[in-house]
């Protein structure tokens, strides 16, 4: 039995060799798809696209309109980058599906070849097991039974059915090569799409991180404004309420921006170090206003503030204001608006409190190093006598204005 199987295998090889000569084994080269865009050029274009917008803005000194514009610009930029990344991911998924379809086509071609080869094997075995009559052997002058079987098989190939079978086998091999080439092309395209998607996601993260970083800067501005609103309540309650309302809207925008940035892949902002309440340098001192009343400030700047007020009185400028504010007041507000834990009081971002509330120790008023001036007991008016005097003389006494708040002066301008 083993000898018979070896004979059949040998006969199969012999006939297949003969078939290769008779039918031919030339395989058509697969048609290439239309020229594809150079992946390296596409990657360069992706790298060249700028994910970050040019923000020429100081969040601490900008006015509210500038902050709003910047936040909107950043949100639009992140949304644009996200849309491009989503499209790149869709293209990548489509390319991966093309690869899977190409693999299925290759598998179908291989299955077809296996079926045709099985059919040709059966044809070979049939020719071996049922050789033609002796007369046919005489006609071919065959010397052995094997040679006679080969010659008979070659004659049988002239029949239309057997020739068609071999044509199908040859065509199946051609199809397999084409499908293999298609699969390789699909795999290359999928890899290109994957790299593009990764580059787009990196752009999204860069844009989101810029938004997150700017939000952190605005958070500091928010805290400053909230501190200022609390300091103003005693001398201009309506202005304090107006500032508070504006900052509540800004806090809402900040929360939305930070949530969107985190969702887009930006790293979460680092927790702010706990705020610390520092005493007024040198203790407290009282400076007398020219029209009555006084301003409590840190003793380290007491003489300068008194000198400024004296000069204002000499020029007939009715200048006064409010300086030092006890940090205990801010601690109590944080307990009411943020929570009672140490984190809630001293570390939680202002925007997360309800309503937004500055951390204690972050206002220069709490150290006696800032003053909110008023004019004859009312608000400072842009271009008025008090505003003009302060802008021309305050810096000579070591006090500097915060441009967004014409009434606010401090030793640092913050």
pLDDT band at 162 (very low <50, low <70, confident <90, very high): low
| CB neighbour list of residue 193: distance below 8 Å, 6 or more residues apart | 88, 91, 92, 94, 95, 96
Cβ contact 46:199 at 8 Å: yes
Query: Which pLDDT band, with edges at 50, 70 and 90, does 39 fall under?
Result: low
Choose from 119-133, 145-159, 304-318 the range with maximum mean pLDDT: 304-318
| pLDDT band for position 148 (cuts 50, 70, 90) | low
Q: How confident is the model at residue 312 (pLDDT cuts 50, 70, 90)?
A: very high
The reported pLDDT for the residue numbered 293 is 93
- In this predicted structure, the answer to whether residue 55 has a pLDDT above a threshold of 50 is yes
Q: How far is CA 140 from CA 123, 125, 147, 357, 398, in A?
A: 21, 21, 9, 109, 123
- Neighbouring CB atoms inside 10 A of 340's CB total 9
Using one digit for the tens of pLDDT, what is the confidence trace for 171-209?
888 888 898 999 899 899 999 999 988 888 888 888 888
Query: Quick one: which H or E segment has residue 251?
Result: helix 237-263
Check residue 5 and give its pLDDT. Answer: 43
Q: What is the pLDDT of residue 393?
A: 95
Q: How confident is the model at residue 50 (pLDDT cuts 50, 70, 90)?
A: low
The DSSP code for 33 is P
Q: What is the DSSP letter of 378?
A: B
The tens digit of pLDDT for each residue in 201-260 reads 888 888 888 888 888 888 888 888 888 888 888 778 888 888 888 888 888 888 888 888
Pick the more confident residue, 128 or 231.
231
Q: Does residue 363 contact residue 325 with C-beta atoms inside 8 Å?
A: yes
Check: CB of residue 264 under 8 Å from CB of residue 256. Answer: no
Cα 165 to Cα 158, 162, 171, distances in angstroms:
11, 5, 10
Confidence (pLDDT) at 323:
94
Q: What percentage of residues in the chain have a pLDDT greater than 70?
A: 79
Distance CA 158, CA 164 (A): 10
What is the predicted pLDDT for the residue at 130? 66
Residue 364 DSSP code? G
270 exposure class (CB count in 10 Å sphere: 0-12, 13-18, 19+): exposed
- Give residue 135's pLDDT: 47
Band of residue 151 on the pLDDT scale cut at 50, 70, 90: low
Model pTM? 0.61
Mean per-residue pLDDT, 314-332: 93
Give the per-residue pLDDT at 156.
Answer: 52
Phi-psi region at 339: left, alpha or beta (left = phi > 0; alpha = psi -120 to 50): left
Q: Higher model confidence: residue 273 or residue 373?
A: 373
Mean pLDDT, residues 304-309? 97
pLDDT in tens, 249-291: 888 888 888 888 888 888 777 777 877 888 999 999 999 999 8
Q: What is the mean pLDDT of the chain?
A: 80
72: tokens are 């909107």
Under DSSP, is residue 315 helix (H, G, I), strand (E, B) or coil? coil
In angstroms and rounded to an integer, the radius of gyration of the C-alpha atoms of the chain is 43
Cα–Cα dist 259/383, whole Å? 41
Confidence of residue 310 (pLDDT cuts 50, 70, 90): very high
Mean pLDDT score, 308-326: 95
What's the average model confidence in pLDDT over 390-410?
93
Q: Provide, rounded to the nearest whole percent, the portion of the chain with pLDDT above 90.
A: 33
- What pLDDT, on a 0 to 100 scale, did the predictor assign at position 11? 43
Q: How far apart are CA 263 and CA 402, in angstroms?
A: 35
CA distance 147 to 126: 15
Q: Token digits for 127?
A: 């020719």
The more confidently predicted of residues 64 and 331 is: 331
pLDDT band at 79 (very low <50, low <70, confident <90, very high): confident
The whole-angstrom distance between residue 273's C-alpha and the CA centroid of its chain comes to 27
Query: What integer pLDDT is reported at residue 280 of this predicted model?
Result: 93
The pLDDT of 344-349, averaged and rounded, is 92
**What does 181-240 look like in DSSP terms, one character per residue?**
HHHHHHHHHHHHHHHHHHHHHHHHHHHHHHHHHHHHHHHHHHHHHHHHHHHHTTT-HHHH
Give the contacts of 324 (CB within 8 A, at least 6 positions apart). 280, 284, 296, 297, 298, 365, 366, 367, 368
Per the DSSP assignment, residues forming a β-bridge with 401 are 409
Q: How far apart are CA 124 and CA 397, in angstroms?
A: 112
Q: What is the pLDDT of residue 22?
A: 38
Query: What average pLDDT does the segment 103-108 reach?
Result: 90
- The stretch 18-32 carries a mean pLDDT of 39
Q: Is the separation of the CB atoms in 308 and 397 below 8 Å?
A: yes
pLDDT at 385 over 80: yes
Q: Which residues pair with 400 in a beta bridge?
A: 410
Residue bearing the bigger pLDDT, 22 or 314: 314
Which position has the higher pLDDT, 46 or 105? 105
pLDDT at 141: 54
Q: Can you tell me the distance from the alpha carbon of 204 to that of 208, in angstroms, rounded to the nearest whole number?
A: 6
């Amino acid at each position: 039995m083993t000898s018979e199987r070896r004979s059949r295998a040998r006969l199969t090889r012999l006939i297949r060799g003969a078939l290769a000569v008779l039918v031919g084994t030339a395989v058509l080269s697969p048609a290439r798809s239309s020229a594809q865009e150079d992946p390296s050029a596409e990657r360069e274009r992706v790298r060249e696209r700028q994910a970050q917008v040019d923000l020429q803005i100081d969040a601490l000194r900008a006015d509210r309109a500038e902050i709003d514009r910047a936040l909107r610009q950043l949100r639009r930029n992140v949304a644009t980058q996200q849309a491009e990344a989503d499209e790149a991911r869709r293209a990548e998924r489509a390319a991966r599906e093309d690869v899977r379809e190409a693999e299925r086509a290759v598998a179908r071609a291989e299955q077809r070849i296996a079926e045709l080869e099985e059919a040709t094997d059966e044809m070979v075995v049939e020719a071996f097991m049922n050789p033609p009559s002796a007369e046919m052997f005489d006609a071919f002058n065959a010397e052995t039974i094997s040679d006679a079987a080969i010659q008979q098989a070659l004659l049988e190939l002239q029949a239309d059915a057997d020739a068609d079978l071999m044509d199908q086998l040859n065509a199946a091999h051609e199809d397999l090569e084409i499908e293999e080439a298609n699969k390789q092309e699909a795999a290359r395209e999928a890899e290109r799409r994957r790299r593009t998607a990764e580059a787009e996601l990196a752009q999204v993260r860069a844009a989101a991180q810029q938004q997150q970083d700017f939000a952190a800067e605005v958070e500091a501005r928010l805290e400053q404004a909230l501190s200022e609103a609390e300091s103003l309540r005693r001398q201009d309650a309506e202005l304090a309420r107006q500032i508070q309302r504006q900052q509540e809207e800004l806090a809402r925008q900040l929360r939305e921006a930070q949530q969107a940035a985190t969702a887009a892949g930006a790293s979460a902002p680092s927790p702010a170090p706990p705020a610390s309440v520092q005493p007024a340098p040198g203790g407290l001192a009282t400076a007398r206003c020219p029209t009555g009343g006084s301003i409590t400030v840190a003793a380290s700047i007491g003489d300068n503030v008194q000198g400024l007020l004296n000069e204002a009185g000499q020029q007939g400028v009715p200048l006064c204001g409010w300086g030092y504010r006890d940090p205990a007041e801010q601690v109590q507000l944080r307990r009411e608006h943020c929570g009672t834990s140490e984190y809630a009081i001293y570390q939680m971002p202002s925007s997360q409190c309800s309503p937004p509330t500055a951390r204690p120790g972050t206002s220069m008023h709490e150290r006696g190093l800032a003053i909110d001036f008023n004019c004859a007991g009312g608000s400072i008016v842009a271009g008025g006598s008090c505003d003009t005097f302060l802008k021309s003389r305050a810096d000579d006494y070591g006090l500097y204005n915060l441009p967004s708040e014409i009434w606010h002066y401090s030793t640092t301008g913050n």
